[in-house]
Amino acid sequence: MSKVIPHSLFTDFDIDLFKAGKHFRLHEKLGAHVAEVDGQKGVYFAVWAPSARNVSVVGDFNYWLQGEHPLNVRWDASGIWEGFIPGVEKGALYKYKIQSNNGSVITEKADPFALYCEKPPHTASVVWDLDYKWKDAKWMGARQNHNALDKPFSVYEVHLGSWKRKGDNQFLTYVELADDLVQYVKETGFTHVEFMPVMEYPYDPSWGYQLVGYFAPTSRFGKPQDFMLLVDKLHQAGIGVILDWVPSHFPSDAHGLGFFDGSHLYEHPDIRKGYHPDWKSLVFNYGRNEVRSFLISNAIFWLQHYHVDGLRVDAVASMLYLDYSRKDGEWEPNIYGGRENLDTISFLKDFNEAVYAHFPDVQTIAEESTSFPMVSRPTYIGGLGFGMKWMMGWMHDTLEYFKKDAIYRKYHQNDLTFSLTYAFTENFMLPLSHDEVVYGKRSILGRMPGDEWQRFANLRLLYGCMFTHPGAKLLFQGAEFGQSEEWNFEQSLDWHLLEYDFHKGIKNTIAALNQLYKSHPALYEKQFSAEGFEWINYGDHENAVISFIRKGNNPKENLIVVCNMTPVVRDDYRIGIPTKGKLTEIFNTDDARFGGSGVGNPSPIKTDAMPWNGREFSAVLKLAPLATIVLRYG
């Protein structure tokens, strides 16, 4: 094997951007790149290790011997070590052997910019490329129409390792998922899928939220091009792809980012800011410019090379607050005496500005559980710049309400209606996510009270409320057919349940709700605006009934929604309506095809010139038990 040849992909401008925290395509410079130099084919390696005394590339091409292929440190104090090694080919295994400045630490590290990793528990990086012939030009050319905030946004959250498995409890590959998952999402009608982290991670019980290979899709399910195929097939089927992204923390595994060059390189050196007590993991140093370049480059990478339509940013609350999960004395206030992490706030604004500048037709979504203001408002008016934010308050209050027996619901109606007092302070996504079906919380179906019929009716009612409530939607795998047990990441979903009518009815309900959502602009055109919602009556506690209007750009297409939270059929229930006309029931979660009792309203429903609920006209409806009904004029 030939010796290292001096070579660089960096310009002076690259280095200036890197040091300023403004280089957002570092993946094109750092890492391992198949190249040809002076007529010789090989690989250019570059790694950031400013506190290293020396750095060597070790791999299966040099018997993992330190010193065989030492890299050269750049002269410009960037801390980048680089060099070209002739003869190394795609598929070669490698790591960086790093000796710290004081000589006391010698470690073997995986490449932070590796495009592909060995299948865990093995930990080497793999020389690879991103060559792939995409066939999703139609989607990419028009995806603004799919990803915009005034379009339907219904997300199916998927854990690739447990959605479905094959014989001997083996994973489906990306290629197999490109057939099975794509077809299933088309059947159920979701507009997008969201993958829990696909970036390489060492520990299965972390569900992917402890990353070591930020630029590599996990090799558990196949090669990088296989994951590209999965995204490609979803796009060809008209389905968007969102990735969970984890800039909040990373594990301390020996081959990962922690103490990378014998110093606190990626993590904050102050344990009060650099260590996460809940997850026993390390926290990025958001105030270090080079780290900001690393993270924002990573976000741009997935959007650029994998055609991803959005990033859901995990654990934003843990990033924003210096005292998050810390006791008095375990955190230090910011320069103004507050608890906000000013470096994080600055970083998140830079991240969102960079993403939307490069890809205006995607969305960033914050999993943020506090009342931090303006998370999904533009940075130029002081916001963090996210496109959407998870509505954790809605999730908590709604599940708390629905677990109560119907006889007690009249005392707790505020739990159901309170979300509308703040629903338009952010661009909210309503999540029923993986976190709500683990650790003894029970499945969504498992929370529902009553006998078997009532439990399934309650679940259909809950989904009816969710899909007619303002905001985007997210549902975790299994919830769409009424998974009975809690989610178990080590096995497949209980697909056999679809042999039973009630579970099949839940799946049919979700498919119909997705179709309703996508086909009626009143449910999405103003889903983040107070102009898109009007209460008819939120105060009928005694009957536990709520009614409201959803509005789009065309008033003639407005919809009326009525939710009966009890198993009592209400034969003559009057609601006020805005204008005279005939009403037609277009959706009812009690429909027999969903497993309901089939109680409904004949068409058309006549309106009366009788004032009610503060409106000039009214109509008398028949309310099905534990059901959401949707009406339109005409």
Residues serving a catalytic function are 314, 367
What is the C-alpha separation between 281 and 253, in angstroms, rounded? 9
Contact between residue 544 and residue 406 where contact means Cβ atoms under 8 Å apart: yes
Task: Give the 3-state DSSP-derived string for 538-594, with helices as H, strands as E and coil as C.
Answer: EEECCCCEEEEEECCCCHHHCEEEEEECCCCCEEEEEEEECCCCCEEEEEECCCHHH
Sign of the torsion formed by the C-alpha atoms of 135, 139, 142 and 147: negative
Burial per residue of 459-481, b for 16 or more beta-carbon CB atoms within 10 angstroms, e otherwise? bbbbbbbbbbbbbbbbbbbbbbb
Cα dihedral: 233, 235, 240, 243 (round 10): 50
Report DSSP state, residue 333. Answer: -
Cα dihedral: 426, 343, 295, 31 (round 10): 170
| DSSP helix/strand/coil, 317 | helix
| DSSP helix/strand/coil, 508 | helix
Residue 357's Cβ-side half-sphere holds a number of Cα atoms within 13 Å equal to 10
The single-letter code of the amino acid at 404 is K
If we measure between CA atoms, which residue out of 528, 196, 551 comes closest to residue 387? 528
Give the number of other CB atoms < 10 A from CB of residue 333: 11
| DSSP helix/strand/coil, 244 | strand
